[in-house]
Chain A
Amino acid sequence: MLENLTDKLGKALRNIRGTGKLTEENMTEALKEVRQALLAADVHFKVARQFVTDVKEQCVGQEVLKSVTPGQQVVKIIHDELVKLLGEGTTELEDKKPLRIMMVGLHGSGKTTSSGKLARYLAKKRDYRPALVACDVYRPAAIDQLERLAENEGCAFYGDRNEKNVVKIGQRGLDAAKQADANLIIFDTAGRLQIDGDLIEEIKDLKKAIQPDEILLVADAALGQEAVNVAKHFHEAVQCTGIILTKLDGDARGGAALSMKSISNVPIKFMGTGEKPDEFDVFHPDRMASRILGMGDVVSLVEKAQDTIDEKEAERMAEKMRKADFNLEDFLQQMQQVKKMGSLGSIMGMMPGMSGVEIGESEEKKMARTEAIILSMTPQERQTPRLLRGSRLKRIANGSGVQVRDVNALLKQFGQMQKMMKMMRGGKKGKKMMQAMQAQMGDGGGLPKLPGM
C-alpha cells in the first residue's frame, strides 16, 4: 500500500519534476489521491477534508528536493502531519494512587477485555494493585466474564448480580476495593449507543458517584464514519480523558483513530493488539499513521524483537557463532526466540508492503517439524551431532514422527551452517562465504524463507 500511495502520488506529481516548487496547481491531483486514500481508510470526510487542506498549506511553496521523488516527499509530509495529529496529548494516565478508571463505549468494542488487559498492564508496568468492578448490569454474563478475567489476573473483583443500580454498584465497588487494599480501580460499564439518552444518563450518574480520574473510551479500530459521532457524544457526555483503540490485530486501516482524535481532541492512550491478556500497549502515533497510509509497521516489529529477545542471550549466541561452536541446542533456542515474537504471519504483517502476503502455514509447519526433530535428540546428541548414526537416527525419526531422511536433511543443513560459520571465523574467502550463504538462504530448510525479500 505504501507503494500504492507513493506510486499514485508519484504519478500525480510527475509533471512537477524540474519545476522546482510545489504549488497549489501542480498539487491538485495529488491531493485528490490523498483524500481518496484517507476516505478508503474510513477517515471521516470532514476530517479528511481538513487534513488535506492542512497538508496543502504545508506543501505549497516547498522546494522539490532532488534527492527524493516528489511522491516520496509528499508522503513524508503527510506522514509527519498524521503523526503530529494522532500523537497530540499524552498517553500517560494520571499519576496517582489510588487511581480510578471508568471504561465506556459502544457494544462489542471490547470494554471488558480491555479492562482486564489494562489491569494487567498497569500492575506489571506501574506496580498497581488492581481491582475490577463490574458495572454492566445488562449484557448477560458480563459480570461472569469480568470475574473470570479478575481471577486470571489474580486481582480483586467486585460485582453484584442482584443489584441493577449501577451507581450503588460503583460505590460499593469503591469500598470493596479499599477493603481489598487495591490502589487501581477499573469500572467496566455496559456497552451503549452514544444516542441512548437513558444509558448516557446512567454513566453520567456513575461518573458523579465514583469520581474517576480517567474516563477511557474504548473503540473498535474498524469503526466507519460513525466513529466521529461516537467520540463526540461520549466526550460531550462524560468528558473522556483518553481513547483505547481495540482489535488492531485485524487489518482495518484504522482511519477511525484519526477521526476520533480530530473531532474530540481526546488523546489516544492505549491499543489492543490481540486476544491474549498481554497483547496491549501504549498507543504509538507513528505506527498508526503508517497503518492509515498503508505503510506497514516496522517499528513495532523491531520493538517486538527487542522485547522478546534477551540481549545477553543474543550476545552469547553471536559469540558462539564467531567461535563456530554453534550446536543444535543453540539452533533450537534461536528458533524458539523467533517463535516467541508471534506467528510468522503476524511478523510478516508488520513489514511494509507485506500486509497482503500469505505467509506460510507450510513454513510454520516446517519450523515446528525441525523443532520436533531436535527435541527428540538427547542433550548430548544436540551438542555433538556427529554422534547421530544408524539407530540413533531411527530413534529420532520415530520420536518426532518423520522419516530418517528428514533428520538427515536437517543435519546436512546444519552442517552447512557450521561450515559457513567456520568460514566467517576465518575472515577470508569472503566471496565464497557469500555464495554459501546464498545457497543456504535459497534452500529454506528449517528456518523460514521470507518471501519477496
Chain B
Amino acid sequence: MQFSEFSKICEQLEKISGRLDTIDMIASVLPSLDDDELPIFVRFLMGRIFPDWSQEKIGIGPNLVFESVAYVAGNNKSKVVKDINREGDAGTAVENILSKKEQTSFFTENPDLIEVYSDFKYLASIEGNRSQKEKLKVVRKLFANAGPLDGKYLSRLILGELRIGIGEGNIRDAIAKAFDVPAESVEHAYQAANDLGEIAAIAKKGEEELAKIRIELFRPVKMMLAKQGTIADMIEEQGAIAAEYKYDGTRFQFHKSGDLCRIYSRKLEEVTAAIPDIVEVLLKSTEHDIILDGEVIAVDDEGRPLPFQNVLRRFRRKHDVASHMENVRLVPNLFDILYLDGETLIEKTFEERRVLLERNVMSFVAPQIVSDDIKFIEAFYRESLDAGHEGIMIKSLKSAYTPGQRVRQWIKIKPSVDTIDLAVVGAEWGEGKRAHLFGSFILACQDESERLLKISKVATGFSDEALAGIYDIMKDKVISESGKVVRFEPEIVFEIGYAEIQKSTNYEAGYALRFPRFIRFRDDKGIEEIETISSIGERFRAQSEKVR
C-alpha cells in the first residue's frame, strides 16, 4: 500500500463518526494488505509506529518536522512556524504549506508503507553526534515525497498526534471481522504479544494460529490494572479474596533468562541500567526463567517506605547511578508471575499463580492474606497504612492475569483522595517572575477511541522548582503557539487533585474539575493510561450519590 492511500483512508475515517462504520471500513481494507504491510498499517492507524513492547523511538520533535517542511516547500522555518501557530493544528498547517509549495521538484517517489516504516526504523537507530543532521536528511526526504494530504498525516504520525479515533477496541473488532475470527481470540493474543499489528498478520492465518501466541521473554506485556471499589462489595461478589499491601512505589516487570535479565517500567521502557541494586537481588531470588510483576519502593534506614517521588528519581536516572544508589535504597515487592520456564501463566487463576510464585521465588514475595472476613481485611488495611503504605489491593483468587486491562478482579483500597491522571495538552505562559515559564496547564482526558478531550486547567500546586523542571521537559514538545497559549505533543501525564467534578460546557469533555491542583508528575504513566470520559462520568455519579 502506498502511503498516499493510507492518507486517504485516514481522511475517510476522520469523517466517519459511528463506531460500527469505522470498524467496517477498516475491516474492508485489512484483507487487501500483505503480511508485511498489515502490522505497519494497523499501528499507523492507531498513531503508533513501533510495537507497544518495543523500546524503539524515532526521536523527532516538532522543530525537526517544521524545519524539514520549510526546506521542502521552499519557505523559511519562521514562516512555517507562523502558519502552524495560526492554524493551531500542525497536520492541517503542513497540508496547506505543501499544497502551496514555492519550490518545485523534479519528481516525487510516492513511498509505500514499508518504505516509510523502514525510514522510521532507521531514524530510531540513528545516534551519535551527527544524529540531528542525519535525522533531518531522512525527515526531509519523507516530506519531499509527500503530497499535501500525506504531509498532514505524516506530520501527525511523527508528532504522535494522529488520533483519528482509532483505539485498540476498534482495531481488535476490525481484525476479528476482516479475518472472521472471534474478537476474544484477538484480544487474548494481543494481551500476550502486545502488538496489534503483529496480531493482525497472525489473525489472517486463522484462529488456531492466534491461539498459539504465548508471552515471550524480553517482550514486556502491559501491566494488569485495578479499579476502585470496596472491600464489602468484593467479598460479597467473590467470597474469599486475597489482600496485599498497595505500595507507593513504581510498578515493574522483571524478565529473566539464565543470567540475563531486563526490567521494564510501567510504560514498558527498559530501566535495567538505572537500578543495578534491584537487578542484583532479583537475579539471586530465583533460578528459573521467569517473568514477574511487582512494585519497587524506596525505604529509609529502618525499612519504612518513603514517598513515591524517591523511586521515580532512581528510575529516571541515566548517569551517575552508583552515587544515587547510596542515597535512595530500593526494595522490590513481587506479587505476580506471568511466565515460568517456557510456560505462559496468564490464563491460570491468581490462586494458582500465587502458589507458583511462592514455590519458585525465594525472596521479595509480597505478603498476602486470604480471607472472606471483612473485619480481618480491614485490619490488614489499617496495618498497611500504619506501616507507611498507600492502602491495600484486593484481588479475586479466580482471576486470570489480563494485561493492559483495568478490571474488577483487582480493586485498590486507599484513603479517599480525589486525584485523577490527565494528559497535558497545552499551557499558558506565566506572569511576573514566572513569565518565562509555563504558568498554567491545559489538561485532557480520553474517550474510548483514545481521542483527547480537554477537561480542565491547572495553575496551583506547583513550586517554582516544579515549574522550572516542567518547563525544561515541555519546551521541546511545543507544537504551536498563539498569543499566550501553547500546544504540546501529548506525552506527559499529571496527577491532579480536585474537590469536585462538575458538568460544564466550557470544556470538550462536558465536565470540569473544581479547585484543580497539581499533585505530581506521573512520568511512569503513558498517555494511554489517562482517565477515560466514562470513568469520569462514573466519578461524577458516585459523587452525586454521596450527596444524596
Query: Are A and B physically bound partners?
Result: no
B interface residue numbers (CB < 8 A to A)? none
